[in-house]
Structure 1
């Protein structure tokens, strides 16, 4: 069993992949309004919203526990509607030496899919795969979709 891993999930998204990308890129501070059960706040700490190198601090609830994460935006690809975040501080760093989360929007025919990918390196073999965190991102995607569908 290795220490490095990669997990991926694809979720059909009916509220427009462009909207999903824009929320994460330009309005992370609004996500807590769309999914208050999961996200209690996201604040810009450094840089400019929507820019590579910006640092975002989030408070969230995962597996019933309040947690925090400080992430740097490592990559943005407007054409692929891609955003890559690298966790640099927070609760995940107690389990992982490296943790990157990427999402991008794929369009197949007239269906938009949000594809989440985690790439990580565990601190030791006893650390579980981040499956519940992937479930968290799926739920977050659904919450954002429901928020926009109700408008």
Structure 2
């Protein structure tokens, strides 16, 4: 299993709208990502369970890298309220053409009264020719910026 994360404190993503807002948005309102992340997230359909509850399954429509419409079926695997962390596992979809497993963790950390978002990707490549998912970290950074901009405009 490989793991990549944004760990350099100078590169953490400061979330000016507040860590609570980030955590609540991704936990309870992922279906609103298409409004906040125009061109990146196209849809989020609840397939099973309830938004914000462990075990809920959603299918995201999105564009990554080349802008081509792709999809991913994901399950909310874990929630840590104290750490404001969400763990999502990809079950099916385009990304699974390259990886045996692909797990995404988004966590809010507060340092010196500033909320930062850290994204961690844990994955297992199908074979050694598959690239490490660096472009996915960039994608999630862009999503974070879009969500913050959306939230600051709205409130």
TM-score tier after normalising by the smaller chain length: over 0.9
Give the 3-state SS of the residue equivalent to 1:121 in structure 2: strand
Relative contact order, higher structure (CA 8 A, sep 6+): 1
Alignment length (residue pairs): 148
Mapped to 2, the partners of 1:68 and 1:28 lie a distance apart of: 14
Match of 1:106 among 109, 117, 123: 109
Higher strand share: 1
Does the alignment pair 1:148 with 2:151? yes
Mapped to 2, the partners of 1:32 and 1:18 lie a distance apart of: 20
Structure 1 residue ranges without an equivalent (≥5) = none
Normalised TM-score (structure 2): 0.93
Q: Which residue of the partner structure matches residue 76 of structure 1?
A: 79
CA RMSD across the alignment? 0.8
Mapped to 2, the partners of 1:13 and 1:128 lie a distance apart of: 29
Mapped to 1, the partners of 2:44 and 2:57 lie a distance apart of: 10
Normalised TM-score (structure 1): 0.95
4+ residue runs over 3 A deviation: none
Q: Would the aligned equivalents of 1:71 and 1:88 in 2 still touch at CA under 8 Å?
A: yes
Q: Deviations over 1:2-33 (max 9, x none)?
A: xx311112311111111111111111111100
